[in-house]
Amino acid sequence: DGGITQSPKYLFRKEGQNVTLSCEQNLNHDAMYWYRQDPGQGLRLIYYSQIVNDFQKGDIAEGYSVSREKKESFPLTVTSAQKNPTAFYLCASSAPGTNKAYEQYFGPGTRLTVT
C-alpha cells in the first residue's frame, strides 16, 4: 500500500511544542497538499506546493509551516502558534499538467493530539 505515506499514525504532544508531520510520495507527482480534517468542517487546505522549492498558503496556514526541498517529501510543522492543533491531518499529491491533474491521492493521515 505505497504511493503516499504519512507518519506517524498517531502523535501526542504537549502544548507549546512544535511538531513535524511527515509526508512522502513515490508517485512522481509535482504537487502536494496538506489538509486538516475536523468534524463538521470538512477538509481545509493548510498549504500546497506545485513544484519543488515553492509553496503557497492555503485557507488556514496560520500556525503552520512547510518545506519542499525534495519532490517526494512535504513535511508539515505545527507550531506552538497554532491555537487548536488537535486534528486529523491529511497529505495529498497530484500531477498537474497531466490528464489526471484533477485527481488527488491521499495518505492515510496523522491524528495529532496536543494536551
Partner 1 sequence: AQRVTQPEKLLSVFKGAPVELKCNYSYSGSPELFWYVQYSRQRLQLLLRHISRESIKGFTADLNKGETSFHLKKPFAQEEDSAMYYCALNAGGTSYGKLTFGQGTILTVHP
Query: What does the alpha-carbon distance between residue 28 and residue 18 come to, in Å, rounded to a whole number?
Result: 29
Within 13 A of 44's CA, how many CA atoms are on the CB side? 14
* Residue 18: CB minimum distance to partner 1, A: 26
| One residue of 21, 87, 90, 112 binding partner 1 per CB under 8 A | 90
* 7 lies in the site for partner 1, by CB under 8 A: no
Q: Which of 2, 42, 54, 83 binds partner 1 (CB under 8 A)?
A: 42
Interface stretch with partner 1, choices 11-19, 62-70, 73-81, 98-106 (CB under 8 A): 98-106
**Residues in Cβ contact with 14 at an 8 Å cutoff, skipping those fewer than 6 apart:** 114, 115
For the bound state, the minimum distance from the C-beta of residue 73 to partner 1, rounded and expressed in Å, comes to: 18
